Amino acid sequence: MIYLDYNATTPLHPKVKEKIIDFLNDYGNPSSAHETGRKVKFMVEDARESVASFLNCRPDEIIFTASGSEANNTVIKSVGRCANSLCYSSAGKSHIISTVVEHPSVLNTLKCVENQNIDVTYVKVDAFGRVSASDVEKAIRPGVTSLISTMYANNEIGVIQPIEEISAIAQKYDIPFHTDAVQAIGKVPIDLKKLNVDYMSISGHKIYAPKGIGVLYKKKGTKALCPLINGGHQEFSFRAGTENTIGIVAIGEAFKQLKIEMDEEIIRIKKLRDKLEAGLFKTIPNIKLNGHPTERLPGTLNISFKNIEGESILLRLDLFGIAVSTGSACSSGSLEPSYVVSSLGVEPEIAHSSIRFSLGRENTEEEIDQTIEKVGEVVSFLRTMSPIK
CB of 231 to ligand PLP, least distance (A): 21
Contact 167, 177 (CB under 8 A): yes
CB of 153 to ligand PLP, least distance (A): 7
* Residue 151 is a binding residue for ligand PLP (CB under 6 A): yes
* Residue 302 is a binding residue for ligand PLP (CB under 6 A): no
Contact 31, 37 (CB under 8 A): yes
* Sequence-ordered list of residues with C-beta below 8 angstroms from that of 166, at least 6 positions apart, any chain: 131, 133, 136, 148, 150, 177
If the CB atoms of residues 69 and 146 are measured against ligand PLP, the closer one turns out to be 69
Spatial distance between the Cα atoms of 111 and 131, rounded to a whole number of angstroms: 20
* Residue 180 is a binding residue for ligand PLP (CB under 6 A): yes
If the CB atoms of residues 118 and 182 are measured against ligand PLP, the closer one turns out to be 182
* Sequence-ordered list of residues with C-beta below 8 angstroms from that of 173, at least 6 positions apart, any chain: 140, 142, 145
Question: What is the Cα 311 distance to its own chain's centre?
Answer: 23
Closest chain position to ligand PLP (CB): 68
| Catalytically annotated residue among 57, 87, 112, 330 | 330
Query: Where does residue 288 rank: exposed (0-12), middle (13-18), buried (19+ CB within 10 A)?
Result: middle
Contact 241, 327 (CB under 8 A): no
Could you say which residues in the range 81-120 bind ligand PLP, by CB under 6 A? 103, 105
Spatial distance between the Cα atoms of 212 and 204, rounded to a whole number of angstroms: 7
CB of 180 to ligand PLP, least distance (A): 5
Only segment of 93-101, 177-185, 333-341, 369-377 that touches ligand PLP (CB under 6 A): 177-185
* Residue 149 is a binding residue for ligand PLP (CB under 6 A): no
* Residue 157 is a binding residue for ligand PLP (CB under 6 A): no
- Mode of pairing for the β-strands spanning 118-123 and 94-99: parallel
Query: Where does residue 62 rank: exposed (0-12), middle (13-18), buried (19+ CB within 10 A)?
Result: buried
If the CB atoms of residues 304 and 328 are measured against ligand PLP, the closer one turns out to be 328
Q: How far apart are the first and last CA of the chain?
A: 32
Contact 96, 77 (CB under 8 A): no
Phi-psi region of 80 (alpha: psi -120 to 50; beta: other; left: phi over 0): left
Query: Is 330 designated active site?
Result: yes
* Residue 356 is a binding residue for ligand PLP (CB under 6 A): no
* Residue 155 is a binding residue for ligand PLP (CB under 6 A): yes
Could you say which residues in the range 52-81 bind ligand PLP, by CB under 6 A? 67-69
If the CB atoms of residues 183 and 363 are measured against ligand PLP, the closer one turns out to be 183
CB of 244 to ligand PLP, least distance (A): 12
* Residue 5 is a binding residue for ligand PLP (CB under 6 A): no
Using CB under 6 A, pick the residue from 99, 145, 161, 203 that binds ligand PLP. Answer: 203
Interface with ligand PLP by CB under 6 A: which residues?
Answer: 67-69, 103, 105, 151, 155, 180, 182-183, 203, 214
Active site (catalytic) residues? 330
